[in-house]
Amino acid sequence: MLLRKLVARCQSASSGGGVFVVAATANLQPCLLRRFRPGSSFCYHDAVDYHDDGSTNTGKNSASMDETRRPMPPVQVPGGSDHLIQSSSPSPPQTSNSLRSKILRNTCISRHHLTPEIPLRLITAECDIYHRPMTANSADEGHGFDADPFWGFYWPGGQALTRFILDNGHLFEGRRVLDVGCGCGASSIAASRVAASHVVANDIDHAALEATRINAELNQIAAAGFELDRRNRIGDVNDCYDVVLIGDLFYDTEIADMLLPWLAALTKTARKTEIYVGDPGRHGLTRREGRLGSSMTQLARYELPANVCIENNGFSHATVWKFDGGDFR
């Protein structure tokens, strides 16, 4: 099926090997090879288990905030969202309308994740595309998209980060937020729902931005203060954001080498941008656990739902970190 083959295609059996593909969606460098590697160093236990109905198991979150978490009720955002703000970048030849129709045909609304109060159009087992065979050549995949549809899946690090945003809205209320590699748009939607003043959903994959638009409309996110951006933001320290969100982007040492110096530079600007990272133990972080040291503060850790564990080989928990900077030149 599509998800398992996407995971297998991006996943390495060891730190030195792996199957490589050209990155799509969350990868902000079009030619960078993407490889996911499961790791255990950053996987933890004893977290609250969020269910599809919004309830939780009784338990204690073993993060720095050591209280029992309660599900956040759905937030009603006034106003519609018929037209979300467009990216200033030119669109690819494929028109937005045809891409929108293709996404709608190949996705289903799902709440089977850590944030059931945010329904999302995802590629699930109920979708025909989920079960289609895949070949080594993406042009022959048969899924009909220009690049592999990584945006169609709600990756573990993104789920944890989005859960954290919903549970800790005071950290984002009234702030300018940049969601880098937004994928399906869940973290951007969560930031908007907890009253961030301006949210930029950023991804170089046009399909990811269209999926984000669709999911924002599904969640009644108002157009005002919600922007879609297709530019490559990595390395750009001129933009003034209070918060940068990084959900499941540390999938390799190469992308980590690009992200860490940029994120460190952002923390040193006059605005002192705050960086929040959601990660289930990807190779780009686990290989740098010692070097990161005091640069990363653990804020929360979550047990992944059973279906997410099954679909993401090797991961059972995901952690949210605050990146505090450092010297990564």
Pairwise CA distance, residues 123 & 89, whole Å: 26
pLDDT in tens, 180-212: 999 999 999 999 999 999 999 999 999 999 999
**The pLDDT of residue 291:** 65
94 burial type by CB count under 10 A (0-12 exposed, 13-18 middle, 19+ buried): middle
DSSP secondary structure code for residue 36 in this structure: B
201 bridge partner residues: 179, 228
63 falls in which pLDDT band (50, 70, 90)?
Answer: very low
pLDDT in tens, 254-295: 999 999 999 999 999 888 999 999 999 998 887 766 567 678
Q: What is the mean pLDDT of residues 55-80?
A: 35
pLDDT in tens, 29-55: 332 333 223 332 222 222 333 333 434
Pairwise CA distance, residues 269 & 149, whole Å: 35
Pairwise CA distance, residues 148 & 10, whole Å: 11
Domains and CATH numbers, the chain: 2-323 (3.40.50.150)
Pairwise CA distance, residues 55 & 32, whole Å: 40
Pairwise CA distance, residues 227 & 274, whole Å: 19
Amino acid (1-letter code) at residue 63: A
Quote the radius of gyration of the chain (alpha carbons, Å).
18
pLDDT in tens, 119-153: 999 998 899 888 887 654 444 455 678 888 989 99
From 10-14, 92-96, 247-251, 272-276, the region with the lowest mean pLDDT: 10-14
Write the CA distances from 171 to 60, 62, 280, integer angstroms. 21, 19, 22
**The pLDDT of residue 113:** 96
pTM here is 0.74
